[in-house]
Structure 1
Amino acid sequence: MTGWLGRIVALALLLGLAACGPSKFKTYSGPPVTQIVVNKGARQMLLLNGNTLLKAYRIGLGNEPIGHKQFEGDGKTPEGLYYIDRRNPDSRYHLSIGISYPNPQDAALAAALGQSAGSDIFIHGQGPEGRALSQSRRDWTVGCIAVTDAEVEDIYAMVRDGTPILITP
C-alpha cells in the first residue's frame, strides 16, 4: 500500500508541476477587437477597436501570395470580408483561429472552374513545421495567415468569434 500511495503522490506532484509551466492560453482585458484588417501587399495584419489600432503584426501568407484564392490547392490567401468562426487549441501550428472562407461567392467561383473552393483557412502560429518552413521563405502556408507562436497567443486571447476580418490585396 505504501508503494502504491507513494506512486500516486509522486504522480500528483508531477501533474501539479506541469500545470505551473507557461501556458499558451493568455487572458486579455483591454478594449475589444472589433475588426481585423489584413493588407496582403504590406504583409501586415491590424487588430482594431473602431478606428483605434490595438496591435499590428507582420505576417506570412499562402505560398502564392498574389491574387484571391480561387480553389483548393492554389496556395493563395483569400481576399474579401470574412468572419472569425472557430478556434483550434490543438493546432499543429501552435494555436489557430478560423476564417469563414469560403463564402457563397467563393464557392460559386470554384464551382464555375470545376474545382472545390477548399476550406480550413486560419490565422495561426508556426509550430515546429512552420518554424522550419519560414526559415527559407516568408510566405509558406497553403493559404493561411501566419504569425509567430507568441503573437498567435495574444491574437487568440484578444479576438472573439464573430469578429469581421477584411483581407485586401
Structure 2
Amino acid sequence: MTKARKRKSGSLAEQILDPATLEKIAFWLEQAGVGSIEIEAGDGRLVRIVAGEDATSPDAGVGPAASVPTEPATVRPAKAPIAGHFLPMHPARNAAESTIGASVFPEQIVGFVRVGPLIMPICAEGAGTLDACIVESGDLVGYGDTVFLIEPAQ
C-alpha cells in the first residue's frame, strides 16, 4: 500500500510564489521558448513570470525588445481577446461581421476567436474604418495579438 502524496500547506498562489517554484517555472518556460506567462490567482492577484536572460530586468518583456508587431501611429489595432483560431464570421451566420473598408463604431464586433466550443468576439476599440485584417481565417492567434487594423475616424 502506498501513501497518498500530501499537498503542501498554503494556497496554490502561495505555492507558485515560492522562489524555488518560480525558478523551476522560469526554467521550463525558457526551455520551451516562451518569454513570459501571467497567472491570475483566485484573489485577483496577477503574477507575471519572465524567462531568459532579461528576466532580472524590471522591464523584462516590455518595450522594443518584445516581439510585438508595431502599427503606424494613425492605425488602431483590434486585438484577440483570447488565444485560439480566428474566424471572420460567427459559425451560425452567413456573412462576415465587417468587411475591409467598412465603417466601425466602438465595441462593434469585427471577428471572432474560437477555442473548442467557446467563441469570443473581437471588438473595435474606437470608431473608424476597417483598414486591414492581418491574419487568415482559421489562423492561430495569441491573446492580445493584433487581428485587424482600424483607421480612426476623423
TM above 0.5, yes or no, is no
- Greater relative contact order: 1 or 2 (C-alpha under 8 angstroms, separation 6 or more)? 1
- TM-score interval (norm. to shorter): under 0.3
More helix by share: 1
TM-score (ref. length: structure 1): 0.20
